[in-house]
Chains A and B, each alone.
Chain A
């Protein structure tokens, strides 16, 4: 049996309960938001790692990455060897007015030259200013956070596992040699 007016009382209870709880309003310019790990704010370029392979520019769905480069010939170190050529980056720019923050360029980069940074306050009054050139992209690298720690139960990263294996092997060999030396 429903008491008449119980719905009205329930409505009053809802608003009263909401009033006693914390508000959800973000006081953004006064208080910076707490962003989750791996937030996608802006893309940073570690140009020392870039080999101008153009994979990022080709995979970009809206073609907002501009790369110019030229080849440089390195004089051969050995007179018998052939001279080597090397790609030198002239321009690397991302047009953030076109970018849709899919992160494909970062995923495809085989040399870890592109990174997500959580910085998001780079609005401009002129849309052309949103094309960030290489120096600006390099500056964003300083805001890239360290990768979040692995889960406690996760398996060791491949690099560390291999290094540990090698170190263990070396230590075992050294120990074996010492034992051999002691016996003779």
Chain B
């Protein structure tokens, strides 16, 4: 019984992990195209190119897996897994619906989630260093610097929610949620979401892969399936960041009929946030590396600290 239950939860998480990033990727193809007055993929699969990513996957699988002669072979080959797996682990801990609808409820959920997500950046650092390519190294160092700057506001914003709820367990935070938390934690939500975008290296924070400057950053030397895994990690990261934002700041499963349809609310909120991620990508140009750093240290961190102070004051006032 217990084994079957565990197995079912793992398989369910894996299925979500494999399907949702593809849905987000396909949506990105179409949304980006229509925001630019184009149609996007139209042929693959017959109906409006719905199978474009499947076709891409087949193409990636057919390509030769090249490892550069000067590369650190084992690290180079392990890097995509290091980039991808943390997101799978994080997804396991994100509560989807009420009454234990979660892969694995962890008491120190926020700590676990934020700590494991930091490992993902280690993947691009390994990839860049092991590639023996100066562009890869530059990209890897940029992503490391970006992680350093943006992890702090992200942690502070998450700490604000944990303070408001009085718990660090993710289901506990959603349980404690009230609608007036949204205006209360608005600044925190902005900081968390923006820092999450930067951590994923999504435009407009994509300097680590700035193709006009350093080709494709840490992933320059990758081909075939390993490259596809890095791309999958990026889209899995979008799903994870959006799910976390909706769980921490938008009340997760709370909504009308949340007893039966709680999971649907979480999914809807996550997908709406994913749309915002794509929207931002289409709208804004890439920041410069120094602008990126300045934004983190002079805007996001003061905002996160202000949110923390606000949370503390109101928490003391109402208790």
Contact = CB atoms under 8 A, between A and B. Distances in A.
Contacts of B34: 18-19, 23
Mostly helix, strand, loop or mixed at chain B's interface?
A: helix
A12 B279 contact: yes
Interface string B117-150: 0000000000000000000000000000000000
A25 B34 CA distance: 10
B283 A21 contact: no
Contacts of A15: 35, 279, 282-283
A172 B33 CA distance: 69
B248 to A, nearest CB: 23
Contacts of B42: 27
B32 to A, nearest CB: 9
A11 interface: yes
Contacts of A12: 279-280, 283
Q: Which of A8, A14, A19, A23 counts the most chain B CB atoms within 10 A?
A: A19
B37 A14 contact: no
Interface in A18-38: 18-19, 21, 23-25, 27
Contact-size category for A:
10 to 19
Interface string B262-293: 00000000000000000110111000000000
A77 interface: no
Given A18-B34, A19-B31, A19-B34, A25 B282 contact: no
A122 B36 CA distance: 32
A101 B109 CA distance: 71
A24 B42 CA distance: 14
B95 to A, nearest CB: 30
Chain A to chain B: the 3 pairs with minimum beta-carbon distance, closest first: A25-B39, A15-B35, A19-B34
Given A11-B283, A15-B282, A19-B34, 20 more contacts: A11-B284, A12-B280, A15-B279, A15-B283, A16-B35, A16-B279, A18-B34, A18-B36, A19-B31, A19-B35, A21-B37, A23-B33, A23-B34, A23-B37, A23-B38, A23-B39, A24-B37, A25-B38, A25-B39, A27-B39
Interface of A: 8, 11-12, 14-16, 18-19, 21, 23-25, 27
Interface of B: 31, 33-39, 42, 279-280, 282-284
